[in-house]
Amino acid sequence: MGFWDEIVGQPEAVRALEHAASAEGSDDLSHAWLITGPPGSGRSNLALRFAAALIARGAEDLDAVWQQVRSRTHPDLAVLTTQKLLITIDEAREIVTTAYFSPATGRHRVIVIEDADRMPERTSNVLLKALEEPPERTVWVLCAPSEADLLPTIRSRARSVKLVTPSPAEIAALLHERDGVDFAVAERAARLSQSHIGMARRLASDPEAMARRERTIDLALAVDTLGDAMRAAAGLVKVAEADASAFTEQLDAVEREEALRNLGISAGAAIPPKLRAQLRNLEEDQSRRAKRSLRDGIDRVLTDLLSLYRDVLLTSLGAGLELVNVEHQARIEELATQWGAERALEAVSMVEQARERLVRAVTPGLVLEALFAGIARQGAESMTHQ
């Protein structure tokens, strides 16, 4: 596969960034870029590939640079990300300081800020000062879901690149060609992920992740009474916890192994007292990530529930569109007949309200209990009016 081929469904964005990173496009290279797009569209992957193309001195060393950039070890790359809900002002100040270093080996120094939408106003103002007086060979690349998630003063100083949601067919082709996934499995994973590239990869490669998603739909389809609602909420918290644990445990082990290797400590060896503080900092970061991963897991559960109730709504309307959860078509058709379009639309609205509560840091269990209690109450009310 070519260097940019893993960027799925974004031909215009790839053309713009590939040109800007080339010698011929130097006049079109802005000192700051803003890559926006929906979750799973490939913002971070595109930002890092753009960084590698900017750093590399030519096609001959692009692959070697990419390997370092992908592992985030290249001396001319700085990446600001966070496992917390917000990027702190101290983190912003630290990354801004690195912007004034000259490139060590490459053509440019590149600073990537993932989840730039997590910067509150005070933090954004620290970055704004750096963008107003940019160093000559430093390029900033910010990633966010939409332009509206950043301050207007930040947006006005960055060139915007907008990504779109790739089609399931494009994602399935990528999983098949790059990862060797059976095409039928790849198609199902792409459909169930709703075109989220990272989630499609997990569903296609991890049978337990696929089983957890099926458990989510099964629990939701079983909700009828208030007792069912409470059991579904408790069950889905466990699903999200298992999903978050599976994701973070593997990542934690890799990070710890890499940290020990960088510190010159062999596997199983005692950790010198002087180095224990660095590992404690890593463990604290991992603990924060675990908390965020649980909320991300609940959000994925809500995304799957939204797809289910959207299927019920479309079926009740006779829209004739392909279902996301086609494996449950018989039960979806049954609910569509039983509920009707109005109740299905209300269920969709309830999921959106649940996501808003999650963003406001309401306890995940309470978010799910309120959601399913509302759906059970709908059923009770409809029975009363019959």
Q: What is the pLDDT of residues 182-200, one digit of tens each?
A: 999 999 999 999 989 989 9
> Using CA atoms, how far apart are residues 117 and 15, in angstroms rounded to an integer?
25
Which residue(s) pair with 161 in the sheet?
35
> Using CA atoms, how far apart are residues 202 and 237, in angstroms rounded to an integer?
19
Residue 385 confidence (pLDDT) above 80:
no
Closest CA to 301 of 214, 180, 381: 214
Closest CA to 73 of 285, 262, 284, 288: 262
Residue 31 confidence (pLDDT) above 70:
yes
Residue 292 confidence (pLDDT) above 90:
no
- Higher-pLDDT residue of 250 and 63 is 63
User: pLDDT (tens digit, 9 = 90+) per residue, 332-372?
Assistant: 999 999 999 999 999 999 999 999 998 887 888 999 999 99
**Model pLDDT, residue 360:** 85
Instruction: List Cβ<8 Å contacts ≥24 apart for 13-22.
Output: 13/46, 13/161, 13/162, 13/163, 14/46, 16/161, 17/46, 17/49, 17/50, 17/53, 17/161, 18/53, 20/50, 21/50, 21/53, 21/54, 22/53
Amino acid identity, residue 270?
A
Q: How many CB atoms lie within 10 A of CB 367?
A: 25
Q: How many CB atoms lie within 10 A of CB 188?
A: 19
Residue 278 confidence (pLDDT) above 70:
no
Q: Which residues of 326-356 are buried (b: 16+ CB within 10 A; e: fewer)?
A: eebeebbeebbeebebebbbebbebbeebbe
Helix (H) or strand (E) holding 143: strand 138-144
User: pLDDT (tens digit, 9 = 90+) per residue, 59-114?
Assistant: 899 999 999 998 888 999 999 987 667 888 999 999 999 888 899 999 999 999 99
Q: Where are the domains of the chain?
A: 11-162, 168-205, 226-385
3-state secondary structure of 217: helix
pLDDT band, very low/low/confident/very high, at 310 (cuts 50, 70, 90) = very high
Q: In what order do the strands lie in the sheet with 138-144?
A: 77-80, 109-113, 138-144, 32-36, 159-162
Looking only at the bridges linking them, the beta strands covering 138-144 and 109-113 are parallel
Superfamily designation of domain 11-162: P-loop containing nucleotide triphosphate hydrolases (3.40.50.300)
3-state secondary structure of 257: helix
Helix (H) or strand (E) holding 192: helix 183-192
pTM, 2 dp: 0.78
